[in-house]
Amino acid sequence: MDYTALAELLYPQVTKTVADWETAYPPRNLPEGARVTRFAPSPTGFMHLGGLYGSLLDERMAAGGGVFYLRIEDTDMERKVEGGVDQILGALAAFGLAYDEGPLPGGGEKGAYGPFCQSQRKEIYHSFAKHFVQRGHAYPCFCTKDELSSMRQKQQERKDNFGYYGEYAVHRNAALTEVEAALTAGIPFTLRLRSQGDPKRRIRKPDLLRGVMELPENDQDMILLKSDGLPTYHFAHLVDDFLMRTTHVIRAEEWLPTFPVHHELFQLSGIEPPQYLHTPQIMKLDGGSKRKLSKRLDPEASVSFYLEQGYPVQAVLWYLMSILNSGFEEWMAKNPDANWRDYPFNAGNIGASGALFDPAKLNDVCKNVMAGYTADEVFTGLLDWSSVYLPDFSIRIQNHADKVRAALAIGRGGPKPRKDIALFSELPDYLSFLFDDTFKVSDDMPSCMTAALWEQCVSHFCDSYDPGDDAEVWFGKVKAVAGNIGFAPDTKEYKKDPAAWPGHAGDVSMALRVAVTGRRQSPDLCEIMRVLGKDSVTRRLSAIGTCLSL
């Protein structure tokens, strides 16, 4: 076979060589040891949590003088989703994972190693494809879908391995005249690898996480270019990671079976491969067993879930860091005021087994993160979330910003801040007591509080209440009210002889809490009353008798 003639027959329009593209994309001028990583998602649906997990790892690996770039692998036109790229860009922006190079929202891109969408790099792939054909490493295949289906059926009946190889590679040794005739007839073709591998032989390849791996050689004549002229992942991976000068490829362990294919492609092309790190898949407990976090079964598999539910971005990143690196949680505990990006990330600390995703643990992280925010930070986060997902509420809190901030400040700060809020989506209900039209009584009064006693309680409390009182003075007045209605002013005294009293000061305080907030559990009641103001407090205390059966 005259491979040069075959290459010209297949790609007569291709004039640029591999060397030309190497010149156009020279080695990067980076510090010694700097890493170049890429997040390379396909816009075929929502962004999976695993994508955020992987892009976080890419970003951390490139930190300190390297380059983290975004590449959109959009060559699968049948599965490409409208708006898919925007979802990817939006998710990265929402979680603060800024890439150094790649496509930009609204169009355009940054960086000298683009285009960063593979569908725009067709000319480049064809130059490499022609190069492979010229060296006898690739050939055209004119099989139809029906022929491939029939071949698979035959393999199934024979119990042979599936794939295009050996005797099943029917176009591998086609004569030049046969190829020319097929092209003249307008028959579409794919370009396939002419594999030199033998699965009986083994390759040894290092992985940064798993050490040296032994795998069987590839013997499949994989498709390099599809009939539309666009590359498969395998071929594009070779070309783009080489020209974009990627030093480290970080991808999920589900790609491990393709490792022999990529090894052969790099070997045949004479290109030094990047280093690889295959991360464990994100797992979740399902009953007593673990399974992969599923796009179909688990809403929490989608990155958009965390944005819609109002998870603090910092908490999600912290949690992902804790399952990426075992020492992160301990480091944050010792350095609570440090920027999480200052953590000395070490790829060697990544666990090789499945990363277990625990929603309860994430919820705890959210509570800790939210508890560390100032009232202004919580307000800003709430405003950002509600402006997208609850716009009417967003307008309301902007119109009552001081009141909302004051409510959010209750129990915040100090050595033991409240940890009752995990998500921004919980705050509209949490703050419902602030506004008369959202205030509702959902809990019962203490059973010892009769209608007659409550009427006395309201009268005595309103006579003495002063919003300027501090917590100690305020509770002293509550005790006095308890004594005035025949309750034990002191809880300890009540416990000595419960039968002697209808209730105690704690019951009075609880009754006031339910009347003012609608709940038995709330932030500091003295502070809530101060935020609401005396008129609102008095009105609610007076109205509670008609709302509840006392």
Tens-place pLDDT, residues 515-524 = 999 999 999 9
DSSP string, 392-424: HHHHHHHHTHHHHHHHHHTT-SSSS-------G
| Dihedral sign computed on CA atoms, order 493, 496, 501, 502 | positive
Instruction: Convert the pLDDT of each residue in 390-433 to its tens digit.
Output: 999 999 999 999 999 999 999 998 788 889 999 999 999 999 99
Instruction: Convert the pLDDT of each residue in 317-339 to its tens digit.
Output: 999 999 888 889 899 989 988 89
> Which domains are delineated in the chain?
1-281 (3.40.50.620), 373-430 (no CATH), 451-547 (1.10.10.350)
248-252/275-279 β-pairing: parallel
Flag whether pLDDT at 463 surpasses 70: yes
Q: Where are the alpha helices (DSSP H) in 219-282?
A: 233-243, 259-269
Q: In what order do the strands lie in the sheet with 190-193?
A: 138-141, 190-193, 223-225
DSSP label of 356: E
DSSP string, 129-152: HHHHHHTTSEEEE---HHHHHHHH
Flag the least confident range among 44-53, 85-94, 416-425.
44-53
The shares of helix, strand and coil residues in the chain, as percent rounded to the nearest 5, are 50, 10, 40
Higher pLDDT, 186 or 252: 186
What distances in angstroms separate CA 296 from CA 155, 282, 289, one per listed residue?
31, 14, 18
In this prediction, residues 354-361 reach a mean pLDDT of 86
Provide the pLDDT confidence category of residue 166 given band limits of 50, 70 and 90.
very high
Residues in the chain: 550
Flag the least confident range among 5-9, 266-270, 352-356, 461-465.
352-356
Q: Which pLDDT score, from 0 to 100, does residue 545 have?
A: 59
Q: Which pLDDT score, from 0 to 100, does residue 548 have?
A: 47
36-39/67-70 β-pairing: parallel
